[in-house]
Structure 1
């Protein structure tokens, strides 16, 4: 068996390799969540203006 003092641990670069994929994914998710939150805060005002401007002519 190998003597514990002669064991060499190799570096694990998993996080280093994953960061280029994770950072853009986090940015895209933050933008989508930000747009969804902003849209939810507006409420149903947009639907009322569309419904009131449609007077039914041209059907």
Structure 2
């Protein structure tokens, strides 16, 4: 999820959410960013909107 959000891959994020992925989990054993944070940093507005709606 974090990788897809980081690069703004809306379709992949949509599929991961549909499969039950949690957009609030942090990468790197809980020490890194969430998918929402990655989408924000990358300025991927469509991806961010999708994550926030989840």
Q: TM-score scaled to structure 1, two decimals?
A: 0.20
Which one has more relative contact order, counting CA pairs under 8 Å at least 6 apart? Answer: 2
- Tell which structure's C-alpha radius of gyration is larger: 1
